[in-house]
Structure 1
Amino acid sequence: MPITAWLADLVLIVHALFILFVVAGGLLLFRWPRVAWLHLPAAVWGVAVEWMGWFCPLTPLENLLRRAAGQAGYSGGFIQHYLLPLIYPAGLTPAVQLWLGLVVLVVNVVVYALWWRRRRAARHHH
């Protein structure tokens, strides 16, 4: 397998991990509160990508590496190509993107609120 194919797979893994971090990275606050400095901008980016219909720059990079390895790239974004067929077989529509962004936003607002509440309660006990 050419090195560019390995690099494309690495970009794919990094992309998947980034999406996982965007959605659930707020949970890391309970162990490492300073992760908020990385997670908040990532979560804002994730919501903006969905709501604005943008593509993450990792998608064209993966496609470039796949083509350089003699593999077919794909059209659309990472979520549309890899995740949507699992979640929504009908495809990515503006309404689905709105809902995906809303899910990311709501999950993170709930996690941050719980973390903040727990943090304040711990301070009052000291």
Structure 2
Amino acid sequence: MMYRLIADAAMVVHFAFLAYLAAGGFLAWRWRRAIRPHLAVVAWGLISITTGVECPLTLLEDWGRRHAGERGLPPSGFIDHYIEGVVYPEQYTNLARSGVAVLVLFSYAGYVLRRR
């Protein structure tokens, strides 16, 4: 039971992390201190996309599921399992990533304009 809770908690945190990646820059419009954590999240996102480094949350969820006697995540990882093909068709992956990049850039442009 504990392993299942760990896996489920990792999944929820992972979804929250992705939501913060996409929209967290807008929080900095109101709370300027939010920009640094968001920069770190964006940096991690870029590193994981460009290098293929596995996210620790993916590893934790997979570990928890396997120890709970369930199937672990597929080798393709968290996003392929929960988002691609579920939220949007797999062939639109680059479009979805571009959309997130536009959101982040727009939020940063707004942050800079609001600081002035």
Asked if TM exceeds 0.5, the reply is: yes
| SS across alignment from 1:80 | helix
Are the equivalent residues in 2 in contact too, given 1:30–1:115 (CA < 8 A)? Answer: yes
Hey, what does 1:115 align to over in structure 2?
Answer: 111
Hey, what does 1:102 align to over in structure 2?
Answer: 98
Structure 1: stretches of 5+ with no match in the other structure = 121-126
Are the equivalent residues in 2 in contact too, given 1:47–1:104 (CA < 8 A)? Answer: no
TM-score, with structure 2 as normaliser: 0.87
Hey, what does 2:86 align to over in structure 1?
Answer: 86
Of structures 1 and 2, the one with the larger relative CO (CA 8 A, separation 6+) is 2
Cα deviation for residue 16 of structure 1 reads 0.5
| SS across alignment from 1:86 | coil
Hey, what does 2:61 align to over in structure 1?
Answer: 62
TM-score, with structure 1 as normaliser: 0.80
Return the alpha-carbon distance in structure 2 between the equivalents of residues 101 and 53 of structure 1. 15
Are the equivalent residues in 2 in contact too, given 1:23–1:107 (CA < 8 A)? Answer: yes
CA separation of 1:6/1:67 partners in 2, compared to 1, >3 Å: closer, same or farther?
same
Q: Which has the larger radius of gyration?
A: 1
Are the equivalent residues in 1 in contact too, given 2:26–2:107 (CA < 8 A)? Answer: yes
Hey, what does 1:74 align to over in structure 2?
Answer: 73
Return the alpha-carbon distance in structure 2 between the equivalents of residues 20 and 106 of structure 1. 14
Corresponding position: 1:10 with 2:6 = no
**May I ask how many residue pairs the two structures share in their alignment?**
115
State the Cα RMSD in Å: 1.8
Cα deviation for residue 102 of structure 1 reads 2.9
Hey, what does 1:124 align to over in structure 2?
Answer: none
Structure 2: stretches of 5+ with no match in the other structure = none
| SS across alignment from 2:84 | helix
Are the equivalent residues in 2 in contact too, given 1:48–1:101 (CA < 8 A)? Answer: no
Percent identity of the aligned residues?
37
